[in-house]
Amino acid sequence: MERNIEKTYDPQGIEEKLYQNWMEKKYFHAEVDRSKKPFTIVMPPPNITGKLHMGHALDNALQDILIRYKRMQGYNALWIPGTDHAAISTEVKVTNQLKEEGIDKKELGREGFLKRTWEWKEEYGGTITSQLKKIGSSCDWDRERFTMDEGCSKAVEEVFIKLYEEGYIYQGARIINWCPVCKTTISDAEVEHEEKAGHFWHIKYPIAGSDEFVVVATTRPETMLGDTALAVNPKDERYQNIIGKNVILPLINKEIPVIADEYVDMEFGTGVVKITPAHDPNDFEVGKRHNLAQINVLTDDATINENGGKYEGMDRYEARKLMVSELKEQGLLAKIEDHSHNVGTHDRCKTIVEPLIKQQWFVKMEELAKPAIEALKTGDLTFVPERFDKTYLNWLENIRDWCISRQIWWGHRIPAYYCDSCHEVIVSKEMPDVCPKCGAIHFTQDEDTLDTWFSSALWPFSTLGWPENTEELDYFYPTDVLVTGYDIIFFWVIRMVFSGYAHTGKSPFHTVFIHGLVRDSLGRKMSKSLGNGIDPLEIIDKYGADALRFTLVTGNAPGNDMRFHLERVEASRNFANKVWNASRFIMMNMDSTKVEAVDLSTLTGADKWILSKVNKLAAEITTNMERFELGIAVQKLYDFIWEEFCDWYIEMVKPRLYNEEDETKKAALWTLRTVLIQSLKLLHPYMPFITEEIFTTIQEEEESIMISTWPEYKEEWNFETEEDEVEIMKTAVRGIRNVRAEMNVAPSKKAKVFVVTQSEKLRAIFEKGKVFFAFLGYASEVVVQQDKEGISEDAVSTVIPDAVIYMPFAELVDIEKEIERLQKEKERLEKELSRVNGMLHNEKFVSKAPEQKINEEKEKLIKYTQMMEQVELRLEQLKR
């Protein structure tokens, strides 16, 4: 059967076709099979509002590499895909869509709005999953999940009620992040901290009953309306005399105490801080320690409320301007300093968020965090790289209670009901019939929904059927590896780990494989505002998914950011072409005949060398993959395929392939095909499409490379001696090529090559490898001998350990022609030197010409002088 591939590699022509075939054959699907060991990954669910970006492409390429590798190793590999309902982001999108139609969401009401949102989800929510297929993601799409599907919603409800009944979920007034535009609490994950230019306002607070005052520096003067104390460090000698006294709160003219608390940094600002418990998380904790009042001065849209006196109704920044102006008038503004500081903004609408106190639903975290801390210490959970252990532990050991309620409609509604008569709170799956406290029968469900992270915290087990004790949960859980970026360790990873222990008694995964961000070529984070984002789909359309994947993994080290250069994508595409052309060359030489197994003893030294190389490569790459060193593994693959296999071995065997009489041709073809297949298998997790197309064409023993066996080290393929022998000859070939390059000898010019060595072992090596050594060394004949007898005096040489390689000069160069060429070059250089010297000795030119032009001519003088010296030396040698 004739086996061949198209002349040129066209990814567009094969990628979609192959992906459809994989889907139809159910290669991605995994069922419970107790005879196999499971290997499970859950996909970090992308938002339904999202479109594929480089971060997604990297994250999913890494997961796909791991799952394809494990599948080939014989594991029952399951990669569960899914999407997140992205509560705030989706609500904003649908609200804006309604606005364009002139509809206010409040007019639709909750049910009408949710109906529209589900319609939006059905129309646009699958965009990112179809895009993930374009990069070759081999997920089990039959098991695709959504954080608001029936099963996940059931899990969310179960967890809320369980944690509430156990006393971990409570309602309380604490500091939260508030978005004045979206009018909802938001999680820390949704707050982006940006460095912004601002000011430090130094404000004088008069000490009650005296003419003295203390100065406080603040970046948010408007919050002083809610100040309930000033604080100093108890060890600060400057302020010992005012601890326990009162100061007058400027503009409000009420007395507030001066307290001592170790929270105050003596080195920062003036060493005196204003305490506003309702508008700062640290102040909130100080306030609790000292029983201070909590005075919220802002409404939900960030205007000043009734607690702000005459500033009531003003926007927060308008109030700031007026207050600063009035402080100045009253002589209470000591100074204003320029100050850059981190400002939290909502990642969706870019509004500056306000920390403020609100009645919300919270999860008590201290006890729940303990098993998650212990997991790392016992080794039940490991981070790759290990340095992220500190980040994880630092967050857990300083964890605060988690605010889980959101003031939006899209999401899991809180299963809490309030008695309309006595306001008793009842948490249950259904609306109660009777109030257990007063016997009333009318209830109102809590209006809030749950934080999106509440449902995604359950993702590793809710996707496998929990809270039901399903066979899938028993077999595939705990999962094996979580692949994610370092930017969401706290928000998601930690919540999954403590949720796993709280609800299943186990860590949801044993390894967290952390990758960095994909940055632009200048090292900047890709963003809409900078306009430096690169669309992965455009890269795929132009270069193919394999080239994109290969680029994202090459040079990638766990936890490190990477820079994305288009030149690197082109290099990856060139590598794909190299693999394609080498494969095509091999197939063309197979002559439509079936390449049969050969006795290893019939292989030549060159065959054994490359077989031994690919054998060791399989062991090394397996070790790298197990350590998650995917970038190191792929670099080794690249070097082996491009250099050792294509540039060396294929060139070595060409004389045997072109000689029908050569008895070793069969061995050469078997080796070519075998090493190519091994290389394709090792490359498959990284470049799934091109490897599948070549693999299914060149052999028919295995139906798809996806379900073929992963290469393992074989002792019978270990040929240390032949490896050493071929490496010696490669060194000699490099030496020959270097000498010829220095002498500008074209590859087409053949010359006799003498290998001179006292070593019997070396002589035997070169005699055995004469055929390919002659071909690679551009030799008309190879003579291996013990001494210099018969070698002309003018022969040029190159030295390798224990041997010297000679080439007769006259065979390399036509002396008469070379002298003639060099004479012409000398005449040309003489003219150039005369011109340059003339200009540099011309006072008129030197005084009037720009400095850059003079420097250019000086550089030319140096260059032409050096060239002239080389030409004259070469002429002298030739004439001798």
The binding site for ATP comprises 528
Rounded Cα–Cα distance for residues 418 and 757 (Å): 97
In 3D space, the residue among 394, 459, 413, 364 whose CA is nearest the CA of residue 80 turns out to be 459
Q: How far, rounded to the nearest angstrom, does the alpha carbon of residue 810 sit from its chain's CA centroid?
A: 57
Q: What is the 3-state secondary structure (H, E, C) of 772-814?
A: HHHHHCCEEEEEEECCCCCCCCCCEEEEECCEEEEECHHHHCC
Contact 301, 183 (CB under 8 A): yes
The CA–CA distances, whole Å, from 785 to 735, 759, 797 equal: 18, 10, 15
Query: Two tokens at 410?
Result: 């899209």
> In the sheet where 796-800 sits, what is the strand order?
779-785, 751-756, 803-807, 796-800
CA atoms within 13 A on the CB side of 179: 24
**Strand, helix or coil at 314?**
coil
Terminus-to-terminus CA distance in the chain, angstroms?
A: 62
**Strand, helix or coil at 349?**
coil
The CA–CA distances, whole Å, from 22 to 10, 52, 104, 140, 371 equal: 19, 22, 46, 11, 41
In 3D space, the residue among 130, 42, 44, 47 whose CA is nearest the CA of residue 347 turns out to be 47
In 3D space, the residue among 817, 742, 739, 748 whose CA is nearest the CA of residue 779 turns out to be 748
Contact 222, 322 (CB under 8 A): no
Rounded Cα–Cα distance for residues 534 and 532 (Å): 7
**Strand, helix or coil at 102?**
coil
**Strand, helix or coil at 75?**
coil
In 3D space, the residue among 732, 829, 738 whose CA is nearest the CA of residue 782 turns out to be 732
In 3D space, the residue among 100, 86, 79 whose CA is nearest the CA of residue 49 turns out to be 86
Q: Strand runs (DSSP E) across 109-189, as ranges?
A: 145-146, 169-179, 184-186
Tell the residue number behind the tokens 């001696």, with chain if given: 721
What is the CB neighbour count within 10 angstroms for residue 697?
Answer: 15
Contact 440, 420 (CB under 8 A): yes
Rounded Cα–Cα distance for residues 650 and 280 (Å): 69
Q: 54: which residues sit within 8 A by CB, 6+ positions away?
A: 518, 526, 533, 534, 536, 552, 564
In single-letter form, the type of residue at position 719 comes to F
DSSP 8-state code for residue 413: B
Query: Two tokens at 221?
Result: 């003067």
DSSP 8-state code for residue 174: E
Rounded Cα–Cα distance for residues 660 and 666 (Å): 10
CB-neighbour burial class of residue 458 (10 A; exposed 0-12, middle 13-18, buried 19+): buried
DSSP 8-state code for residue 271: S
Residue set of the binding site: 528
In 3D space, the residue among 181, 69, 203 whose CA is nearest the CA of residue 621 turns out to be 69
In 3D space, the residue among 86, 303, 296 whose CA is nearest the CA of residue 176 turns out to be 296
Residue 807 pairs in a beta bridge with: 796
DSSP state letters, 463-517: TTTTTS--HHHHHH-SEEEEEEEGGGIIIIIIHHHHHHHHHHSS-SEEEEEEE--
| Continuous segment of H or E residues that includes residue 606 | helix 605-626
DSSP 8-state code for residue 84: B
